[in-house]
Amino acid sequence: MSTDAAELVPFMLRRPGAPFPPPEYEEFRTKPGLVKAALPSGETVWLVTRHEEVRAVLTDPRISSNPTHEGFPRPSRTVGAPSADEVPGWFVSLDPPDHNRFRKALIPEFTVRRIRSLRPAVEEIVDRAIDQMLARGDTAELVEDFSLTVPSLVISSLLGVPKVDRDFFEEKTKVLVTLTSTDEERDKASEHLLRYINRLITIKSKRPGDDLISRLLQGGLLTPQELSGVSMLLLIAGHETTANNISLGVVTLLQQKQWIGDERMIEELLRYHSVADLVALRVAIEDVEIGGQLVRAGEGIVPLVAGANHDPEMFERPHEFDPSRSATGHVAFGYGVHQCLGQNLVRLEMDVAYRGLFRRIPTLEVAVPLEELRFKYDGVLFGLHALPVRW
């Protein structure tokens, strides 16, 4: 195997003018072994594009999520995951067994039953966002006015942020996830949020309420400091991801209206758009063979979930949006012990959002030609910068 720079593909490949993964993935899948790519820093990583091998990487105990290991992919300053040393409670960066305690503490908050009980609260949030859009006239910018607002309000309600503080909370989280924010703006917003969350934890420890933070404090499995990191993780992991999915879904559903109202569309939208293509970063901590490729200890690995979800071995006609297929088995939420904790909340939010939008605004349409939509080709998460709509 050669690491000649000329043979290296860049880490972040452009998606073409449709919500598909970069066309290069198709070619990569046909090659034996894995593909070596260069990060902007010049470091190299292995790209994984086949469904079977993405699952293998995400379940192999010799492959780590811990960014403190030598060779962990660091695509850029804002992309590189913090470690749990830097932010106690940032458990997506911990391997088992350290990861187990956090997951165990959190899963009672995300059971199917618990999430179902949140439906009325999510409906109220969605309804209010639509009320505000309608009150402002007959056009909106859906990303800002709806898609980012809903998940932020849902998470703040989950955490137990009082209603009077939710505007502050929403404003700061938007700065954090907007690609055009400067590093300085982002640092400031993050500092404000962290300070706010710490204050909230102090308040809840004295006067517990019916919310996640209060219950976790009482459960005693996590320290208040860890709980603060956990809260930030929930906020960041669940905001732009969900927002991008909601916006892209609106565009896709408006093009194929026959699927509006069909429950099967949710799983297929998740598979089809695979917004978190570049999220699950890993490093080998022992030599390991993946798909016939020897990966040495200390080499970075990027399992591409959009690659896996458009693997024709797993999903026939992968570039077709077809909710009548079974999209079960997609890895839009990852796989293995880190598989998305918030996934059932996402399903609920998407369901309530689309029901609300298409029922209350039946004439909703995209206000610009589709070719003019600005996709986030350059972000770690795929999505839309803006989505002008009218009714």
Residue numbers of the site for ligand HEM (CB under 6 A)? 65, 91-92, 103, 155, 233-234, 237-238, 241-242, 245, 275-276, 279-280, 305, 332-334, 338, 340-342, 345-346
User: By C-beta, is 42 or 97 nearer to other proteins?
Assistant: 97
- C-alpha to C-alpha distance for 249 and 325, rounded to whole angstroms: 17
The distance of closest approach from Cβ of residue 112 to other proteins in the complex, given in angstroms and rounded to an integer, is 5
* Residue 245 structure tokens: 């999915």
Which listed option, other proteins, ligand HEM, none, makes contact with residue 148 (CB within 5 to 8 Å by class)? none
User: By C-beta, is 105 or 148 nearer to other proteins?
Assistant: 105
Cβ burial of 320 (10 Å; 0-12, 13-18, 19+) is exposed
Which listed option, ligand HEM, other proteins, none, makes contact with residue 278 (CB within 5 to 8 Å by class)? none
Give me the residue label for tokens 């010799």.
Answer: 62
User: By C-beta, is 145 or 311 nearer to other proteins?
Assistant: 311
Which listed option, other proteins, ligand HEM, none, makes contact with residue 370 (CB within 5 to 8 Å by class)? none
Of 92, 50, 96, give the one whose Cα is nearest residue 241.
92
Angle at 292 between CA 291 and CA 296, to 5 degrees: 95
- Strands laid side by side in the 9-10 sheet: 9-10, 35-38, 44-48, 300-303, 282-284, 63-64
Cβ burial of 315 (10 Å; 0-12, 13-18, 19+) is buried
Q: Which of helix, strand or coil describes residue 366?
A: strand
CA 267 to chain centre: 15
User: By C-beta, is 253 or 275 nearer to ligand HEM?
Assistant: 275
The distance of closest approach from Cβ of residue 313 to ligand HEM in the complex, given in angstroms and rounded to an integer, is 20
| Part of the chain binding other proteins (CB under 8 A), chosen from 110-118, 169-177, 294-302, 354-362 | 110-118
Which listed option, ligand HEM, other proteins, none, makes contact with residue 329 (CB within 5 to 8 Å by class)? other proteins
The distance of closest approach from Cβ of residue 112 to ligand HEM in the complex, given in angstroms and rounded to an integer, is 15
- Which residues are paired to 289 by β-bridges? 294
Of 18, 20, 17, give the one whose Cα is nearest residue 274.
20
Instruction: Give yes or no for residue 334 binding other proteins (CB under 8 A).
Output: yes
The distance of closest approach from Cβ of residue 96 to other proteins in the complex, given in angstroms and rounded to an integer, is 10
Member of 208, 224, 298, 329 binding other proteins (CB under 8 A): 329
Contact criterion met (CB below 8 Å) for 382 and 375: yes
Which listed option, ligand HEM, other proteins, none, makes contact with residue 275 (CB within 5 to 8 Å by class)? ligand HEM
Residues that bind other proteins (CB under 8 A): 58-59, 103-104, 107-108, 110-113, 328-329, 333-337, 339-341, 343-344
